[in-house]
Amino acid sequence: MSGDGEQFGDGLAEELIHALSLYDDLQVIARASAAAVRGHGLDIREIGRRLNVGVILDGSVRRAGNRLRITVQLIDVNDGHHLWSERYDREMTDVFEVQDEITAAIVDKLRPQLLSARSSAAQRHSEDPEAYALYLKGRHHWIRRPAGTMEAIAYFEQAVKRDPTYALAYAGLADAYNTMASWEGGILPPREGFEKGMSYAEQALRLKPDLAEAHTALGYALHHYRWEIPQAERLFSEAIRLNPRYGQAHHWYSHLLVGTGRIEESLAESKIYLNLDPADPMSQLHLMWHHVMAHNFDQALSESGRALANDPGFSWNRIFQGWAYLGKGATGEAEATIRKGAELSGVNVQLSFLGHAQAVNGNREDALRTLERLTARSVEQYVSPYELGLIYEALGDRDHAFALLEQAYAERSPWLVYSREPRLRHLHGDPRFDALLARITRHFGEAPADGTR
């Protein structure tokens, strides 16, 4: 409330969740899931059911200049009873003290239920309150990616300008640039996005070698751009050891496991991510992605129904539902569903899904028009040659398709670590594709990406 109070409140919630998660036996739902049920007028019991929690921390933040007023209340979802409530009036310079005070008060109220709860020491990442506020704003925008990514970068950059030792803000920059070069954004060439992402992640690790967020960001870049699979896996495993409740570590580790054919392990990590962050659209989407990549198309469609019921306006839910239909051979349903998703956002990678579905469904003229739109856009903004190549292949022009796949290989397209990709399955056995796959997997240092030996 009052200016940037909402952004500050979102960030404070994230910091409180992190601090509370350090207590053994205390399972805390991630902030994105908590935020997803906010503002819909839901009953406390319904919120508890959706998030599978027994206690809810509710609060508000008002900021006027350097003055903060934070109100918090702890509510039992079973009967709506207020276990505890408090109001804090502080100067902005006292924000860290307020955070610690609130955390201690909550744990004190929960201790009779937890008995043996013990806390690891929470690390203070910056002692500059303004840098801290800028970082929180950056995370507030990043979770709304890709629309909020540029705003996130601006805030993270301001944070490190104020505090050049702020490792968490460098990790935020790494996440932002990595996702701009991946399927989540697809608006930067891999070299530009991932090189910046790796540089920022390495800077964060120099400052804080035990920062789970930095290990995860570097692992993501090494997996998708450098194709250094064993090292990326070590980084993800270390991130999970450092902070087993950091959902993104499980999320992106699952991606690596799919790429190396370890489907059951990937499913386990996908479920951990979903349990940590059950209402986050990305966690539900990721479970759909896992089943599509595992060629479990019926299960993917089942998951898509739940995801769409929770968030019908999230464009990727439509894209992945259509992807599952395509895998089943229901090409008409696939095209219609993917079109709905592409119309919601219009981002390049979603348009490429549409062009491919149109071509597979026999709508050649529509596919060519979509291809022309993407080619025209590529003059002024990045469009992945991998995505264009799949459309040409579906149109029957394999020579042009393989020329673009070779260009994608030269660029280190992040898509190429996923040879289980259903849109590629009929290419296995083509000598050109098998030779390309062999060159890719030589980088891996282990089993080929389709799980064969």
Class of domain 129-243: mainly alpha
CA dist 146 to 175, 278, 340, 373, Å?
A: 12, 20, 18, 20
8 A C-beta contact, residue 439 and residue 409? yes
Point out the residues of the chain with pLDDT beneath 70: 1-8, 11, 110-124, 445-453
DSSP 127: S
pLDDT in tens, 70-99: 888 889 998 888 888 888 888 877 777 777
**pLDDT at position 448:** 39
List CB contacts of 402: < 8 A, sequence separation 6 or more. 389, 432, 433, 436
- The CA-based angle 335-340-343, given to 5 degrees, is 115
- Paired tokens of 258: 């799919």
User: 22 has which bridge partners?
Assistant: none
pLDDT in tens, 257-267: 999 999 999 99
Residues across the chain: 453
- CATH fold of 5-121 reads Rossmann fold (3.40.50)
Q: Is 299 exposed, middle or buried (0-12, 13-18, 19+ CB in 10 A)?
A: middle
The reply to whether omega before 414 is within 30° of 0 (cis) is no
Residues 287, 64: Cα–Cα separation, whole Å: 42
Q: Is 55 exposed, middle or buried (0-12, 13-18, 19+ CB in 10 A)?
A: middle
Residue in this structure with the two tokens 């696939």, named with its chain if needed: 334
**pLDDT at position 111:** 67
Residues 139, 15: Cα–Cα separation, whole Å: 11
**pLDDT at position 3:** 53
Question: Which sign does the torsion angle of CA 447, 450, 451, 453 carry?
Answer: negative
- Paired tokens of 361: 């469904």
Residues 60, 9: Cα–Cα separation, whole Å: 7
Residues 146, 130: Cα–Cα separation, whole Å: 25
Residues 174, 194: Cα–Cα separation, whole Å: 8
Domain spans in the chain, listed from the N-terminal domain onward: 5-121, 129-243, 346-453
Q: What is the dihedral of CA 203, 204, 206, 208, to 10 degrees?
A: 170
Strands of 67-76's sheet, edge to edge?
55-64, 67-76, 82-91
Residues 152, 148: Cα–Cα separation, whole Å: 6
**369 — phi, psi (to 5°)?**
-65, -40
pLDDT in tens, 13-29: 777 787 777 777 778 88
pTM of the model: 0.85
Residues 375, 357: Cα–Cα separation, whole Å: 17
User: 71 has which bridge partners?
Assistant: 60, 87
Residues 173, 221: Cα–Cα separation, whole Å: 13
- Paired tokens of 332: 């008409």
- Paired tokens of 283: 């966690």
pLDDT in tens, 167-226: 999 999 999 999 999 977 778 999 999 999 999 999 999 999 999 999 999 999 999 999
- Paired tokens of 448: 């080929």
Residues 451, 453: Cα–Cα separation, whole Å: 7
- The CA-based angle 154-157-162, given to 5 degrees, is 130
Residues 314, 304: Cα–Cα separation, whole Å: 11
